[in-house]
């Protein structure tokens, strides 16, 4: 029952209730992986569904993610140190020349909510930095963001550079001017129209790799 209560508290965006129920679950000796997967991550999937369906809005998704994060913090000391619970490592950033990070931040937050380890390189990221980090951190996925029509070409340049460097990891792109057709055209492995759908895509691509 406690797991369901955690799930409900995340969906209800109730940070205090998430924390209290996780404490209870830990005291009861519940399996930490079960709390994480069935309580927190599955709840964030539901939150993502509600957002994509238009029944909840950005601030509500944000609150749910913050509630989940607070729960994660309580779980952290109990999680295996080998990171075996991680669903994979994602490198994310806005491409060179683009300083707009709101969409990118939302996607990063939802990826964390889905159990990925997220390495956020921030804004205005040079393709060399994506390449280097992808190599050293053995990333499973690269996520590129651009808000401006004028910085979209930098996504193509980044993908080309990644491929030329011999990195075969999947790349997803997103941002207001981006379309599915554009993603295909520049050789990306997919495009997320919103944060939850970017997460779905990330899961599929990492699972398939």
From residue 131 to residue 150, the character string flagging contacts with another protein as x (rule: CB under 8 A) and all else as - is: -----------------xxx
Our CB check for another protein shows the closer of 102 and 209 to be 102
From residue 67 to residue 106, the character string flagging contacts with another protein as x (rule: CB under 8 A) and all else as - is: ------------------------------x-xxxx--x-
Instruction: For the chain, give the DSSP string.
Output: -HHHHHHHHHHTT-HHHHHHHHHHHHHTT--HHHIIIIIIIHHHHHHHHHHHTTSS-HHHHHHHHHHHHHHHHHHGGGS-TT-TT---EEEEEEBTT----HHHHHHHHHHHHTT-EEEE--SSB-HHHHHHHHHHTT-SEEEEE--STTTHHHHHHHHHHHHHTT----EEEESTT--HHHHHHTT-SEE-SSHHHHHHHHHHHHHH-
From residue 104 to residue 133, the character string flagging contacts with another protein as x (rule: CB under 8 A) and all else as - is: -x-----------------xx---------
Q: Which of 62, 161, 165, 167 binds another protein (CB under 8 A)?
A: 62
Tell me the C-alpha distance between 148 and 180, whole Å: 16
- How many positions of this chain bind another protein (CB under 8 A)? 17
Cβ at position 100, least distance to another protein in Å: 7
Cβ at position 152, least distance to another protein in Å: 8
Cβ at position 150, least distance to another protein in Å: 5
Cβ at position 6, least distance to another protein in Å: 26
Contacting residues toward another protein, per CB under 8 A: 57-59, 62, 97, 99-102, 105, 123-124, 148-150, 153, 177
């Amino acid at each position: 029952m406690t797991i369901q209560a955690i799930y409900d508290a995340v969906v209800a965006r109730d940070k205090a209730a998430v924390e209290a129920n996780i404490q209870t679950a830990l005291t009861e000796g519940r399996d930490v992986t079960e709390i994480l997967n069935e309580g927190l991550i599955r709840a964030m999937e539901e939150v993502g569904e509600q957002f994509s369906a238009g029944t909840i809005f950005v601030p509500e998704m944000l609150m749910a993610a913050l509630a989940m994060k607070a729960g994660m913090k309580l779980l952290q000391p109990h999680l295996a140190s080998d990171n075996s619970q991680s669903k994979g490592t994602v490198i994310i950033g806005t491409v060179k020349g683009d300083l707009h990070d709101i969409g990118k931040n939302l996607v990063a937050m939802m990826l964390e909510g889905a159990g990925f380890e997220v390495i956020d390189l921030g804004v205005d990221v040079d393709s060399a930095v994506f390449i280097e980090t992808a190599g050293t951190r053995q990333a499973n996925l690269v996520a590129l963001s651009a808000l401006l029509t004028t910085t979209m070409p930098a996504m193509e340049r980044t993908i080309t550079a990644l491929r030329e460097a011999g990195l075969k990891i999947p790349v997803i792109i997103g941002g207001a001017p981006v379309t599915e057709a554009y993603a295909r055209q520049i050789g990306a492995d997919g495009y997320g129209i919103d944060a939850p759908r970017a997460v779905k895509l990330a899961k599929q691509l990492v699972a398939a790799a």
